[in-house]
Amino acid sequence: MRSKTPLYKIVMLGDSGVGKTCLVCRLTNPNAVLNTDVPATMGIEFDTQLINTSVGTVKAQIWDTAGQERFARVLLPTYFRKAKGVLMVFDLTNIATLHSLQTRWSSQMRDNADDDDLVKVLIGNKCDIASDTDIQKQAKAFAATNSMEYIETSALTGTAVSTAFETLLNSVHLKAISDQRSGVKRGVAEADVIDLKATQGGKGEEAKGCC
C-alpha cells in the first residue's frame, strides 16, 4: 500500500508589508509576474505545496496571516495550532521589522504555539534592494542566538525563495522522523486541515508593497 505524503503545517510570521504573502505567491507560482501591490492580508489564508527534502517529498500547508496587531492578536491561537515550523520574515530595508520579530512576534509565538520546540528559519526579504549591512549583522546575530538558519530572499526576483521553504521543511521532516522513532507523533493529519473558505472573507483593500 502506498504511503501518504507527510503533511506539515508551517506559518509565516512578521509585520505587514515585509513580503510574507509575496513569498508564498512566488513559491506556488514561480514563473508568474508578481504584483508588488498586493493587498495586506486581513485574515488567515493558506496554500498547500509539495516540497522536496533530503529524505523525500513532503506536503507543506503554508499559513499566511495578517501582520496588523488588531487582526493577529485574535487569530494567533488558530494560526499556531498544530504548527510544526515557522518562517520569521522581516524587511531588509526596514530594521523596525526585525526588531518586531525579536520582541512582539517572538513573544506571541511563545504564548500561542502548541510546540515549545518549533523549527524556525529567519528570512530577510527584499534582498534585491537591501543596502544596510548593519541590519544583516543584527539578523545573523539574532539567528545564531536562537539556533535558526538565516536566509536572504527576494520575492520579486525569486532569489532563494524555494531554498527558504525547502530548508524549513527539511528540518521539520527530519525532526518528525527522529520524533517518530522516539514515539512522538508529529505532522498534521488530513482531518486536521481547516477549510477557512466558508468562514473567511476576502482580502482587505489596504495595499502593501511586499517584495
Tens digit of pLDDT for each residue in 127-173?
999 988 999 999 999 999 999 999 999 999 999 999 999 999 999 99
**Domain contains 44:** yes
User: If pLDDT is split at 50, 70 and 90, which confidence band does 18 have?
Assistant: very high
Give the DSSP letter string of 54-104.
Answer: TTEEEEEEEEEE--SHHHHHHHHHHHHTT--EEEEEEETT-HHHHHHIIII
Q: What is the domain-level CATH number for residue 40?
A: 3.40.50.300
What is the radius of gyration, based on Cα positions, of the chain? 16
pLDDT at 185: 60
Return the percentage of the chain with pLDDT > 70, whole number: 77
- 60-72 average pLDDT score: 75
pLDDT at 41: 54
SS3 content of the chain, % helix, strand, coil (to 5): 35, 25, 40
Tens digit of pLDDT for each residue in 169-197?
999 999 999 988 887 665 554 434 444 44
**Domain contains 191:** no
Tens digit of pLDDT for each residue in 19-59?
999 999 999 988 877 766 555 555 567 899 999 999 999 99
Burial of 109 (C-beta count, 10 Å sphere; 0-12/13-18/19+) = buried
**Domain contains 67:** yes
**Domain contains 200:** no
User: If pLDDT is split at 50, 70 and 90, which confidence band does 78 have?
Assistant: confident
Where in the sequence is the domain holding 39, given as residue range(s)?
A: 7-186
Please enumerate, as own/partner, the contacts of 51-54 that have beta carbons within 8 Å and a separation of 24 or more: 51/165, 51/166, 51/169, 52/166, 53/166, 53/169, 53/170, 53/173, 53/174, 54/170, 54/174
Tens digit of pLDDT for each residue in 98-134?
999 999 999 999 999 988 789 999 999 999 999 889 9
**Domain contains 154:** yes
Cell numbers placing 91: 524587511
pLDDT at 197: 44
Q: How many domains does the chain have?
A: 1
Q: For residues 104 and 98, what is the distance between their CA atoms, to the nearest angstrom?
A: 10
